[in-house]
């Protein structure tokens, strides 16, 4: 979490449902990926999560704070303490990166998904109709 220097092509702003948490991601995400894993499902309450991956220094807090907890030995997730909106995901195997739930951005339109992760844990009734790459496990090399 630091000030970004230089020219920023795009800044995406977002926040939780109640507005207590506001954040800003500078520049382009390294990846935009769906995840169907059980851990994301339980943490979000939804059958699929869509994440934008950033270097941690691309993220700045405008307001509020991330309430963090370990959802697995090497995984830290955060949410808003006021309204419970899931916000971020960090993985010890992906050092220096933070994954932001795309649904919290004010404008999700620019975040076009690139791949499907953990399709092995996707509910069968959730059918995919795109041609994006599908990974049985994580799409991110680690």
Site for Zn ion in 64-103 (CB under 5 A): 80, 82-83
Q: d(Cα 111, Cα 131) in Å, to the nearest integer? A: 17
Q: Closer to Zn ion at the Cβ: 12 or 14? A: 14
- 35 contributes a contact to Zn ion by CB under 5 A: yes
Minimum CB distance to Zn ion smaller for 26 or for 66: 66
Indicate which single residue of 20, 31, 75, 115 sits in contact with Zn ion (rule: CB under 5 A).
Answer: 20
> Taking Cα atoms as reference points, which of 11, 57, 9, 55 lies closest to residue 30?
55
Tokens representing residue 63 in the block: 């307001």
C-alpha of 70 from chain center: 15
Find the part of the chain contacting Zn ion (CB under 5 A) among 12-20, 26-34, 71-79, 97-105: 12-20
Is 46 a binding residue for Zn ion by CB under 5 A? The answer is no
Report the candidate in 8, 95, 106 with the shortest Cα–Cα distance to residue 53: 95
Q: Shortest gap between Cβ of 9 and Zn ion (angstroms)?
A: 28
Q: Which of 84, 89, 56 is nearest to 71 (CA)?
A: 89
- For Zn ion, the binding residues (CB under 5 A) are 16, 18, 20, 35, 37, 40, 80, 82-83
């Amino acid at each position: 979490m630091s000030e970004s220097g230089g020219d920023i092509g795009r800044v995406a702003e977002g926040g939780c449902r109640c507005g207590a948490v506001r954040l800003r991601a500078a520049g382009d995400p390294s990846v935009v990926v769906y995840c169907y894993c059980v851990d994301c499902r339980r943490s979000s309450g939804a059958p699929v999560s869509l994440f934008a991956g950033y270097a941690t220094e691309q993220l700045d807090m405008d307001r509020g704070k991330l309430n963090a907890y370990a959802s697995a030995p090497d995984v830290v997730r955060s949410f808003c303490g006021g309204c419970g909106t899931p916000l971020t995901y960090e993985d010890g195997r992906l050092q220096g990166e933070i994954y932001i739930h795309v649904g919290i951005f004010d404008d999700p339109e620019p975040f076009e998904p690139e791949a499907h992760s953990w399709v092995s844990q996707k509910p069968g009734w959730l059918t995919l109709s795109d041609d994006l790459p599908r990974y049985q496990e994580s799409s991110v090399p680690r």
